[in-house]
């Protein structure tokens, strides 16, 4: 059983993968059954995909024609995805979307949002929120922890004669480079650009600006703590 599962995982991911020898075969059997049903849902999803797609239970997906997916993508249980936007949602190869994650590409019908692009081998953790109205781009091999939120939109507020809710919004977008690690419960705000190799500590608030490659940032607001190398 372990040999077969290892074989198929390597085939899907197209990289080396070895299951821990301590995992019971009974656990792997149940996992294989669950993944089979996720595969069936993915094959019947009517989403433009280049290969295998796994979709979990109680996943709600809107504007499916605006979604493009590579191979080996997983959208786990209870996710909500609304791809209505100018550029839609692009998920590269081996991207995983964690349980209960929300991806919204358009904040309201007055302004069509830009969308989301996620490159290869990216893990989007559970219980996260991606507000993609201003555009979010995430580079390859990036890890995003649980309970992370990204907001690529700001409210206008400078006119004292008009309620904030009626002043509209502005967008600069969010860019996260390759090989980054975003810690749990971090918040990334509109206008933030993280260069390759950045680490954002758990609970940090990343405001607008450019964050140096290979920098470790933490705090509220996030500041450079040290360089990785």
pLDDT in tens, 167-189: 888 899 999 999 999 999 999 99
Same domain? 73 vs 120: yes
CATH number of the domain to which 57 belongs: 2.160.10.10
N-to-C CA span, the chain: 41
136, 171: one domain: yes
What pLDDT shows up at residue 24? Answer: 83
Q: Are residues 19 and 52 in the same domain?
A: no
Of 26, 44, 62, which residue constitutes the final position of a domain? Answer: 44
Cα–Cα distance between 196 and 102 in angstroms, integer?
25
Q: DSSP assignment, residue 32? A: H
Residue 110 binned pLDDT confidence (cut-offs 50, 70, 90): confident
Same domain, 29 and 51: no
User: Which strand ranges, in their side-by-side order, compose the sheet holding 187-189?
Assistant: 60-62, 80-82, 102-104, 129-131, 149-151, 187-189, 205-206
Lowest model confidence (mean pLDDT) among 15-19, 116-120, 135-139, 184-188:
15-19
Q: How far apart are CA 38 and CA 208, in angstroms?
A: 38
On whether both 39 and 52 belong to a single domain, the answer is: no
Q: What is the pLDDT of residue 28?
A: 81
Tell me which residue range forms the domain holding 194: 47-227
- Number of domains making up the chain: 2
Same domain, 120 and 220: yes
Q: Are residues 152 and 135 in the same domain?
A: yes
Residue 10's pLDDT is 64
User: Are 84 and 188 members of one domain?
Assistant: yes
CB atoms within 10 A of CB 44: 10
Q: What is the pLDDT of residue 108?
A: 78
Are 170 and 193 part of one and the same domain? yes
Whether residues 35 and 95 fall in one domain: no
pLDDT the model gives residue 61: 97
Please count the residues of the chain: 229
Per-residue pLDDT reduced to its tens digit, 5-61? 666 666 666 676 777 778 888 888 888 899 999 999 999 999 999 989 999 999 999
Residues 156 and 64 in one domain: yes
18 lies in the same domain as 116:
no
69-106 pLDDT per residue, tens: 999 999 999 999 999 999 999 999 999 999 999 999 99
């Amino acid at each position: 059983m372990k040999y077969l599962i290892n074989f198929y995982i390597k085939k899907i991911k197209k990289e080396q993968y070895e299951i821990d020898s301590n995992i019971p075969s009974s656990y792997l059997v149940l996992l294989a059954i669950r993944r089979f049903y996720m595969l069936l849902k993915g094959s019947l999803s009517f989403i433009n995909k280049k290969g295998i797609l796994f979709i979990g239970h109680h996943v709600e997906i809107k504007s499916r024609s605006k979604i493009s997916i590579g191979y080996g993508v997983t959208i786990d249980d209870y996710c909500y995805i609304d791809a209505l936007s100018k550029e839609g949602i692009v998920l590269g190869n081996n991207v995983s979307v964690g349980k209960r994650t929300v991806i919204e590409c358009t904040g309201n019908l007055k302004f069509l949002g830009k969308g989301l692009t996620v490159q290869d081998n990216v893990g989007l953790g559970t219980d996260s929120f991606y507000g993609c109205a201003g555009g979010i781009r995430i580079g390859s091999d990036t890890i995003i922890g649980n309970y992370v939120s990204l907001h690529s939109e700001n409210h206008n507020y400078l006119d004292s004669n008009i309620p904030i809710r009626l002043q509209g919004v502005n967008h600069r977008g969010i860019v996260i480079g390759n090989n980054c690690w975003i810690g749990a419960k971090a918040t990334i705000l509109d206008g933030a650009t993280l260069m390759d190799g950045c680490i954002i500590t758990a609970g940090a608030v990343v405001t607008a600006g450019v964050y140096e490659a290979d920098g470790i940032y933490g705090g509220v607001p996030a500041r450079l703590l040290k360089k990785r190398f």
